[in-house]
Structure 1
Amino acid sequence: MQSHDTFPSTDISSAAPPRPSRNDAEAALVEHYPRLVRLAHLILPPALGRHRRVLAAHALVQKSLAAAAPSRPGPTPAPTVPAQRGEPGPVLVWLRQGVVSAALRAASRPRWSLGRTPLPTVMGLRLFPRAGSDDELALESRLATMTPDARAAFALRVLEGLTAQSAALLLTAAGVPTPDEALHAAERLRTTVGTDAESLLHGAEFDPCTVQARPTDLLRRRHRKRFTALVAAVLLVASTTAVLTLRPEPPTPPTPSPPVTALAAAATRATDPGLLLRTPADRWSDTARVDLTQWPARGTRTGDTALLSRALHAWAQSTGDRPGVRVSVTPGTPTTPPAAPARLLFAGTVDGSTIVLLHDGGRIIRYAEPSTGRGGAVLELARADDSDVTTGAAVAVSRTRLGARFLLAPWIDESAVRDLLRPDVPARRLAVSVDGVTDPVPEAPGDCRRLPALQVRSSTRIVEDHSFLLADLGELSPAHLTWSPAPGTGAPARQPREATSAAGLAAWARTACALPGLRGTGVRAVNRWEFARQALPERAGRATWTCTRAENWDGHGRVTVAWEGEDAHSRPVRVPGPAREDTAACSRFGQHLLAGTYWTAPSGARYFLAAGSRAVTTVTARGPVSATVRGQVLAVRTNADGQVRLTGTVPGSGELRGWEEAERYSGGP
C-alpha cells in the first residue's frame, strides 16, 4: 500500500511556546533579526510591491516585541515545537511563531492596508532587495503563484529546517485551517527545485535586509508639494463657509482595487529598469559557461533609466498595438512579453540611433530609436537559446548603407573581415571601439561578386584559443560557418571543424553563393560536409559530393546535396531531394548519405554517378540504370533517362535509401 504523510490536527495550546520576558525577546530579536525578517518577507504577498513588502516585513518583526511579557517570568518548560538547527531555545521559537502568525494575518488583509505602520518609515526613497540569479527569479515567480499558507510552509521546511510535524504544529498555532494542504504544496515545490532550494532562499532576491535605494519620482514630488499648498488654501477658504451648508450625505466608500495577480506582479518586475541583470565585467574569464549570460553591460547609456524603461515597455507591448514602434521577429522566435528581469548587454548611441540590447535567456531583444527624437522606434526579437562561444560571439547593433556593425563578445581578442569567394586574399583587420562595437562590415551584393564574413579569434583566457567564421544573414546573430572534410584526406571522421584553414576556406568558396538565400530564416550555423569524392570516368578528374546543412535555433535544418566538378570556378549542381526543414540528414544524428545524378563526359558520353558517405559498403541502382558495386561510389555508362532508385548498405544500420528517394519513402508528395 502506498504511504503518504499526514499532519494531525493538534490542539493549538499544545503548540504554543511560552511567552518570554521583553528583555529576552529583544535580545533574541536583535541576534536573529535578519532571519526573522527574511521569513516574514517570504510569506508576505509579492503583489504588495518590492518597496512596501520590505517595509512591511521589518514592521511585522519589530512589532512582535509588543506581545512579550513586561517582566521576566519564572522557569518555563521546554516548548512543544522543538528547536532545531542550533536554535537558542524557546525565545526564538516564540518570536518565530509570532512573526509567522502576523505575516499570515497581514497576507489576508487588503493590499492597500498593508505597510501602514509608524515604523519603519522611508520617505523620498524606494527600497528593494538586490536582483538575484535566474534561478532565484524563477523560484520567486513560482512562490508568487502559491497561497500565503503554502509559502509559510515552504519557508518553515526549507529556510527554518523544521520537520513536517513541527511545521504543522506551528502552522496550526498560526491559524492555518488546513496545514496538511499547505505542506503538501510546499513539498511539491521543494521537490521541483531540488537540493538548491535552501541556497536559493538565502540569495539576494530573498534578502530584505540588504537592499538597494532609488529615489521616487522627483518631478512628481515637486508637483505634489505645489498641489498640497493649493489644496490647503482652498480648504482654508471653504472652511469659513462650511457652517452655512447643509450636512451632506456620507460619501460612498470607494471600492477597493482588486488585488494584483502574480502575473501582473511579474510583468511589473520585468519592466523595471532598476531590476535589469548586469554581469560583472570580468566574469567571462573565470566561468564554465561562456555564452550570452556572461556579457557585461556596455555602452554610454547603461545608466539611462528613461531609455531602458522605454525599451522594456516597448518589448512588453510588442504583441499588441504600440504606436510608433515597428516590431520585427525572426522566424521561430517566441513573441511573449518579458516574464522576469532580463540581462542588459548594451545601451548606447550608434550611427545616429540609440540602441538597447537585452537577453532574457532564450532571446535577444534589440530596441532602437532615433537619437534626434524624430521617427519611430524599432523592436527586434531573435532566438538565442543555447548559445555558446561561437554563436554567442557577436550581435548586430546597427545597419546602414555602409554595412552592419556588431557588438563582439568580451572573449573576442581579434576580428577581421574576409571575402569568402577569395580564400587566398588575407583577411582585413576590423577596428573595434572600447565598448566592443566594430566598424561597418560591408553587405554582400546581390550578384555574388563578393561575400564578406567576420573572422574572429577567441581569447586564451577561456582556453578556447581558435578562430572561426561568422556570416551575416541579416539577423541579430550571424551564422557560424563550419566544414567537414571528405574521407580519404587523412582527416578522421569527427564533428564539424572551423573553416578558417586553407582547405576550409577553399571549400567554402564553392558554397558561399548559396548563403544569401538563407537570409532572414533564423539560421544559427551552416556546415558544409564533403561526404564523398569520386574519380570521374575517362580520366575527367575528381568530383566532390557535398551536403550543406543550415541549422536553425530550434534544431530544424535545411539540407542541400550537390555535386561539384574539379573546376573551382564552376557552380555546384544541386541533386534533387526532399524539401523538408525538419530532418536529421547531414547532422550528428543523420551521418549516412547516398546520392546520385547523371553526368555528361567531355567526350559526350553519358554516365550515371552515385556516391555514399564513408560508412557505405555497397551501392545498388535500380530502374533506368541497374548495377551493384562494392564500395562507396558507382559510375555506369548509360543512354537512359529518368529517376534511378538508389540503395546502399551500412553495416549495423541496414539499408540506406538514396537522397532522391528519401521524400517518397518518408510520406512526401
Structure 2
Amino acid sequence: MLTVNRADYARLLRLAYLVLDDGDAPLARARRAAARAARGRPGGYPAKRARLVGVLLTEPPAGWSPLHRVLFEPAPPPRGPVREALSELPPHERLACLLRLDGLTVPEVAAELGPHRPTDFRDVERATAAVDARTGLDEAAQRAEIEAFDPDLVRLRPPSVRPAWRAAVAAAVAVALLAVAGSVLTRAEEGAGGPAAVDPGAWRKTPAPSINEWPAQGGLRHDAALLRRAAEAWRDHHRHPPVGRVFLLYAGTVDGASLVVLRDTPGARDAPSMAQYFERRLSRGVESVRRLGNGTGQLIMLGMTWRYLVPPWLQDVRAAVPEGRAPDWTPLPVRDGLTGPLPWTWFTPRCQNYVVFRMIFRPAAGGTVRAVTQLASHDPWSAAPRVWFPDRPEPEERFRWAALHAVACEGAATLSESGDLRLGRLWSGELPDGGGRATLLTVDASSQWAAPGSAVLISEGGKALSERGRTNSDTTSSAASMAAALWWRSPRRWHLVAAAGPNVRRLKTVGELDSREEDTAGKDEALLLLVPGPRTGGRLPERAHLPVVHVVAYENDGDRTVVSPW
C-alpha cells in the first residue's frame, strides 16, 4: 500500500509541477499541492487527481521569499519540447493537455475541469492542438517525455547528518547570500532611464481620451529612484519586455507594498502592454505583464489586491457579481485613480472569477457622456473586456444582465483570452418541443478582425440552452447584417436554429440536412430558420455525428455569407 501511495504522489507531483512550471518556487508549490491532494479523502489515483485539479485551479499561490528561492529552490533542468510548449500556455490549458496525456479523453478532461472553470470540448482540443503544433510530436512521443520527467530529481537533498565543518560552511554561505541579497534589495539606483509621464491635462483636451492621455497618478509618482527600478525591471523581463517608450500610469503604496504600473507604446497597429512592478519586504520585480485589448482606457486589476486602477474620465464606478435575476450594484470609491477593495469572497471559481463594472464615461472636452460596461477579473494576467450592445435603441436592462450572466457564468465566451465583446440579440421566441422561451445571443470580439464570433441560445435568466454556434462576424461589422447558426437539442430531436438581422432577406440551408429556406416576404418579425435534425430516440447522438450543414445568408444588397453551426 505504501508503494502505491508513493507512486500516486509521484504522478501528482509531476502533474502539479508542470502546471506551475514558472513563477516562484514551482517545486515547493507543487509539493504542497500534491500533498494536499494525496492526504484527502480515501480514493485511488483518479480521486486524488481530481482533488489536485481543484487545488491548482482554485487556491491562490503561496508566497515565497527570495531566501527560500536561493537556499531551497534550485534552477530547473533544461526543458524538452513538450515542457517548452506547455510553458507558453496559461495554467488551465497546461492542465488540460496534461490530463489528456494522463489518459483522459477530451470529454473526460472537460468534465474534470468543468466544476472549477467553464470548459468545453473545443477548449481542450484547442490547447492540445497548440502543443501539437509547437512540438511536431505525436501523443505517444509527448507522453514519453512527460513520463520521463521526475521533478524530485531537480533538487539534490543534503544528507540527514552532516559533519560540523560542513554545517559551518553552509552557515557561512547562507550569511554571504543574505548579505548579497540585502545589498541588492537596498540599492537605491538601478540604472538610468525612468518612465515618461503624460501631461496631466491632456485628457481634458480631447472628446475621446484613451490610454495615450492617461495621466500618472499615485502618491509615489515623483519617486525617481523607484520609477527607474521599475522601468529597468520591465526592460529586463525575459519573456515580455516593453516595445517602444515606457510611460507611467500609477505609482503608490498599496497594502504595504510599493506598486508601479507602466505601459509601452508599440505603435498604432498593436495594442499596448501593461506591466505591474511590486516592491515588498525581501522581494521586488515585475509580477505581471498583460497586453490590453485596445488602446482605450479601461479598468486595470492591481495584482491580488482586489483593487482597480481607473482613468479620470471613468466615473461613478459600480460593481456586481453577474449572478441572480437582477444586478446588485455596489458603489466603489475612487481615490487618486485607485478604487477601494472589492470583497475577496466575490472571486470564487464561479463565473470565471469575473465581476461586472458599470461606469460613466464623462470626457471634459465635450464628448458624449455614456454608460460603460466592463468585465474584470482578480487575475492581472487575464483580459478585461469592455462590453457593449449594438442594438438601437439600447436593449432593456433585463436582457443586458441575462447576456452578461451567459457570457461570464454559462460559458458563452472565454473571457480570459477575449477582446472587447459585442453582445447582440438576433431573435427571441418560443422553441419547439416544449423548449420554452429563448433568445439567440451573438458574442463577437470586436478587437479580433476576421475572427468568427459565436452564438448561443439562452433563457430569459441567462442560462445557456445550447453549446456555442457561429456568426458571420468575420465578414461583416454591421449588426443589421449579422447571421448566426447553432444546434439545439430538445428531448426528442436535434434542431438547426439560424437567425439574421434586418439587412438579411433570406436564409437557406445546404449540405446533408434537408434543404430549407426562409425569407422576409410579408413578415415583420426577425428572420428565423428552424430545421428539424436527427431524432435522439432513447440515446442522444454525439455532436460529431450530426449532419454537415451550412446556412447561406442573402443580404438586401446582393451580398451573401455562409455560416456553419460549428
TM range, smaller chain: 0.5 to 0.7
1:532 aligns with 2:435: no
Deviations 1:409-430 (A, max 9, x none): 0112211111222352431111
Paired residue for 1:301, among 198, 204, 220?
220
CA distance change for structure 1 residues 608 and 393 in 2, over 3 Å: closer, same or farther?
closer
Pick aligned residue for 1:633 from 528, 549, 557: 528
Please list the CA deviations of residues 11-62 of structure 1 after superposition, one character each: whole Å capped at 9, or x if unmatched: xxxxxxxxxxxxxxxxxxxxxxxxxxxxxxxxxxxxxxxxxxxxxxxxxxxx
User: Would the alpha carbon gap of residues 349 and 279 (structure 1) be closer, same or farther in structure 2, given more than 3 Å must change?
Assistant: same
Amino acid at match of 2:399: A
Q: Compute the displacement of 1:538 (Å).
A: 6.5
User: How far does residue 377 in structure 1 lie from its aligned partner after superposition?
Assistant: 1.8
Q: Are 1:614 and 2:508 counterparts?
A: no
Q: Is the 8 A contact 1:472 1:478 kept in 2?
A: yes
Aligned to 1:545, what secondary structure does the other structure show?
strand
In the aligned structure 1, how far is the partner of 2:469 from the partner of 2:243? 43
* Counterpart pick for 1:412 among 311, 314, 317: 314
Q: Find 1:459's aligned residue among 348, 362, 365.
A: 362
Q: Secondary structure at the match of 1:510?
A: helix
Partner Cα separation in structure 2 for residue 303 and residue 425 of structure 1:
40
- Alpha-carbon distance in 2 for matches of 1:292, 1:471: 18
Cα deviation, 1:206-244, whole Å, max 9, x if unaligned, reads xxxxxxxxxxxxxxxxxxxxxxxxxxxxxxxxxxxxxxx
The reply to whether residue 571 of structure 1 matches residue 464 of structure 2 is yes
CA spacing shift, 1:544–1:636, aligned 2, 3 Å: same
What amino acid maps onto 2:324 in structure 1? R
> Do the aligned partners of 2:476 and 2:482 also contact (CA within 8 Å) in 1?
yes
Aligned to 2:342, what secondary structure does the other structure show? coil
Using the TM superposition, name which of 464-473 and 438-447 deviates more.
438-447
Tell me if structure 1 keeps the 8 A contact 2:209–2:363. no
Identity across the alignment (%): 17
Match of 1:479 in 2: 385
CA displacement at 1:308 relative to structure 2:
1.2
Letter in 2 for 1:371: R
State whether structure 2 residue 235 is matched by structure 1 residue 347.
Answer: no
Q: Counterparts of 1:153-552 in structure 2 under 5 Å?
A: 272-273=192-193, 276-319=195-238, 335-337=240-242, 339-340=244-245, 342-362=246-266, 363-372=272-281, 374-384=282-292, 386-388=294-296, 392-400=297-305, 404-422=306-324, 424-440=326-342, 442=344, 443-448=346-351, 451-459=354-362, 461-462=364-365, 463-473=367-377, 474-475=379-380, 478-485=384-391, 491=392, 501-514=397-410, 518-521=414-417, 523-537=418-432, 541-552=436-447
Match of 1:624 among 501, 513, 518: 513
Q: Are 1:649 and 1:655, in contact at CA under 8 Å, matched by a contact in 2?
A: yes
Q: Which residue, out of 471, 474, 485, partners 1:584?
A: 474
1:358 shift after superposition: 1.9
**Residue 597 of structure 1 is aligned with which of 462, 487, 490?**
487
Per-residue deviation, 1:292? 1.5
Whole-angstrom CA distance in 1 between matches of 2:500 and 2:214: 43
**Equivalent residues of 2:497, 2:529 under 8 A apart:** yes
Q: Give distance in 2, aligned partners of 1:627 and 1:386.
A: 41
Q: Any idea what SS the aligned residue of 1:357 has? A: strand
CA RMSD of aligned residues (A): 3.7
2:277 corresponds to which letter in structure 1?
A
- Taking structure 1 as reference, are residues 610 and 549 closer, same or farther at Cα in structure 2, changes over 3 Å only? closer
Instruction: Tell me how far apart the structure 1 counterparts of residues 493 and 339 of structure 2 sit (CA, whole Å).
Output: 56
**Shift of residue 510, structure 1, vs aligned partner:** 3.0
Distance 2:316 2:396 in 1: 14
Counterpart-to-counterpart distance in 1, 2:407 and 2:425: 11
For structure 1, list consecutive stretches of 5 or more residues without a partner in the other structure.
Answer: 1-269, 320-326, 328-334, 486-490, 662-669
Structure 2 residue identity aligned to 1:383: R
Deviations 1:560-593 (A, max 9, x none): 22123x4536423124559xxx972574499432
Question: 5+ unaligned residues in a row in structure 2: which ranges?
Answer: 1-189, 267-271, 521-526, 537-545
Rounded to whole Å, the distance in 2 between the matches of 1:447 and 1:512 is 9
SS in 2 for 1:413: strand
How far has the Cα of 1:480 moved from its partner?
0.4
Q: Distance in 1 between matches of 2:257 and 2:192?
A: 23
CA displacement 1:443-469 (0-9 Å, x = unmatched): 532134985222212236343322222
Secondary structure, aligned partner of 1:652: coil
Asked if structure 2 preserves the Cα contact closer than 8 Å seen for 1:281 and 1:296, the reply is yes
Q: What per-residue deviation string (whole Å, max 9, x for no partner) do you get for residues 66-89 of structure 1?
A: xxxxxxxxxxxxxxxxxxxxxxxx
Distance change in 2, residues 1:539/1:367 (3 Å): closer
Change (3 A) 1:640 1:518: closer
Letter in 2 for 1:550: A
Q: Aligned partners of 1:367 and 1:608: how far apart in 2?
A: 47
Taking the aligned partners of 1:457 and 1:410, their CA distance within structure 2 comes to: 11
**What residue number does 1:647 align with?**
552
State the alpha-carbon separation in 2 of the partners of residues 278 and 624 from structure 1: 61
Contact 1:528 1:547 in 2 (8 A): yes
Aligned partners of 2:442 and 2:456 also within 8 Å: yes
Determine the C-alpha separation between the residues in 1 that align with 2:229 and 2:513: 66
Q: Residue 211 of structure 1 aligns with which residue? A: none
In 2 relative to 1, CA 515–481 (structure 1 residues): closer, same or farther, beyond 3 Å?
farther
**Contact 2:466–2:488 (CA under 8 A) maintained in structure 1:** no
How many matched pairs? 351
The residue type paired with residue 482 of structure 2 is H
Q: Aligned with 2:220: secondary structure? A: coil
Q: CA deviation at 1:355?
A: 1.1
SS of aligned partner of 2:407: helix
| Contact 1:457 1:468 (8 Å CA) reproduced | yes
CA contact (8 A) 1:356 1:368 kept: yes
Deviation at 1:312, TM superposition (A): 1.5
- How far apart are the structure 2 equivalents of 1:639 and 1:558? 26
In structure 2, relative to structure 1, the CA distance for the partners of 1:596 and 1:449 (3 Å cut) is closer
Q: 1:297-318 CA distances to partner (integer Å, 9 max, x unpaired)?
A: 2112122222111112112212
Q: How does 1:74-89 map to 2 (within 5 A)?
A: none
User: What is the distance in 2 between the residues matched to 1:399 and 1:556?
Assistant: 34
CA-CA distance at 1:360 after TM superposition: 2.6
Distance in 2 between residues matched to 1:640 and 1:295, nearest whole Å: 57
Shift of 1:376: 4.2
Alpha-carbon deviation of 1:548? 0.9
Judge conservation of contact 1:529–1:586 (CA < 8 Å) in 2: no
AA paired with 2:322?
L
Aligned AA for 2:454?
Answer: T
8 Å contact 2:247–2:264 — kept in the other structure?
yes
Contact 2:332–2:339 (CA under 8 A) maintained in structure 1: no
Report the AA paired with residue 291 of structure 2.
Answer: R
